[in-house]
Chains A and B, each alone.
Chain A
């Protein structure tokens, strides 16, 4: 079951991850040029110019560029460049065919990330089926003609399918999902989302959750308000830092010695996987992650904090350029949430480690002495 989830989530994330740079570029652009963005707030750009740039650049990029990249990547995953091209074409049908209205009255022409994730691989599959069928039926010398026109007609057909079928279905799903998420957020329950997120993370579903679900959700948010909390729910480096510092302070053996190096890699390098073993080896420690994550999310919600793009990797260095502008304490809220997350997970982590001490990490050597443990500290010279 976990494997199936990992595979599915991995496919979703696999359509987004290779394009993360584009999401970040768009996020940075948005942060700078929208009317509530940095340049306008600092008075270096007029509201008019900001509006024009937003309409000409920010809007089209998220409406077209990002879904097209996702759909192309999805199609490519299934049937290479040919599948990718068909996916890129077909997604325009989906983009054209989906607009919705939420029960809150918010209407949207939301970026079709989910639609792209559906039609991309679908187009790849269609192209593969067509190519397989045509393979033995193509007369010599007609390959190029068949190739080009099979793709052309497939593109036409899939665009209509996207427009008349998939678009409206995506719209219905987006409406339902959007209502649900708005409901959760309005009820102030968003911080509780940390519970499944932290579990998912240590089961290596972190990328699936972050880039398969939260990044598309967040990008839609950013288009409306210039920042989004969704980019932080999985990527916040605070709680993991607290956990690792707790091991350094109150842990034992290999875990204690390797914790500081891991903490640096986690917090500054943004490779969260380094903390997963520390939870897996002593599962009760997920309590520290929950405490830290939920506290941080509460701070984020309370300060209306958000980032302008997906921080990838989840490093403090990736957070800083993506801080939102103006709007009172939003940027401050991000930093505060990170600090609170780290502090709470540290305190809870120390308590848990004292109550439920970890057995020393199993080593293949029967006798482990300090000399054997030294190499576990990254950065120290190993003597091989």
Chain B
């Protein structure tokens, strides 16, 4: 049984927004997150990706709940956070707020 991944706020450098094709909703949501991260003055890189192509160095992966399992399979060492709505879901906002407060991000899967 693998243990739950917990990423310390200072260790989070790469956040990946994953969707199925990597062209539509992930790009849209990644841009939202980028704006939020910039406003919060976080030192992170935010990219979008297809769920089957999540880069190894991803620290935190955000995906819709329907794809979270696949994301975890592709990025076992990342903290996977699942959201329900594509716009300002509290989870997405939550990741930014936690990082701003220096709190760790715990993987949900």
Binding site for B on A (CB under 8 A): 3, 6-7, 10-11, 13-14, 17, 202-204, 206-207, 254, 258, 261-262, 265, 269-271, 273-274, 276-277, 280-281, 313, 361, 363-365, 375-378, 382, 384
Contact = CB atoms under 8 A, between A and B. Distances in A.
Among A3, A17, A271, the one with the most B-chain Cβ atoms within 10 Å of its Cβ is: A271
Given A3-B69, A14-B50, A271 B88 contact: no
Contact of A271 (B28, B65, B84, B85): B28
Among B28, B86, B93, the one with the most A-chain Cβ atoms within 10 Å of its Cβ is: B86
A310 to B, nearest CB: 13
Among A13, A207, A361, the one with the most B-chain Cβ atoms within 10 Å of its Cβ is: A207
A364 B90 contact: yes
Interface stretch (B8-16, B19-27, B54-62, B101-109): B19-27
Nearest to B83: A277
B36 A384 contact: yes
Given A14-B52, A364-B90, A273 B85 contact: no
21 contacts: A3-B73, A10-B20, A10-B51, A11-B52, A204-B64, A206-B20, A254-B85, A265-B86, A271-B28, A273-B19, A273-B20, A276-B66, A277-B84, A277-B86, A361-B85, A376-B85, A376-B87, A376-B88, A378-B87, A384-B40, A384-B96
Contacts of B66: 202-204, 276, 280
B25 A271 contact: yes
B85 A17 contact: no
B5 interface: no
Nearest to A384: B39
A14 B24 CA distance: 14
Contacts of B21: 13, 17, 207
Nearest to A255: B85
A181 B87 CA distance: 38
A17 B23 contact: yes
B37 to A, nearest CB: 10
Given A258-B85, A378-B87, 12 more contacts: A6-B20, A10-B20, A202-B66, A204-B64, A261-B87, A262-B86, A273-B25, A274-B25, A281-B84, A382-B88, A384-B36, A384-B96
Nearest to A368: B90
Contacts of A377: 87
B6 interface: no
Contacts of A269: 28
Nearest to B25: A273
Given A3-B70, A10-B51, A273 B84 contact: no
A274 B87 contact: yes
Nearest to B37: A384
A11 B109 CA distance: 23
B67 interface: yes
A273 B21 CA distance: 11
Contacts of A313: 23-24
A214 B51 CA distance: 22
A240 to B, nearest CB: 13
B20 A375 contact: no
A363 B91 CA distance: 9
A202 B84 CA distance: 12
Contacts of A281: 84
Contacts of B51: 10
Contacts of B88: 258, 375-376, 378, 382
* Closest CB pairs A-B (n = 10): A273-B25, A375-B88, A384-B39, A271-B24, A207-B21, A364-B90, A204-B66, A376-B88, A274-B86, A378-B87
A262 B25 CA distance: 11
B86 A7 contact: no
Contacts of A11: 52
Contacts of B85: 254, 258, 277, 361, 376
Contacts of B25: 271, 273-274
Contacts of A376: 85, 87-88
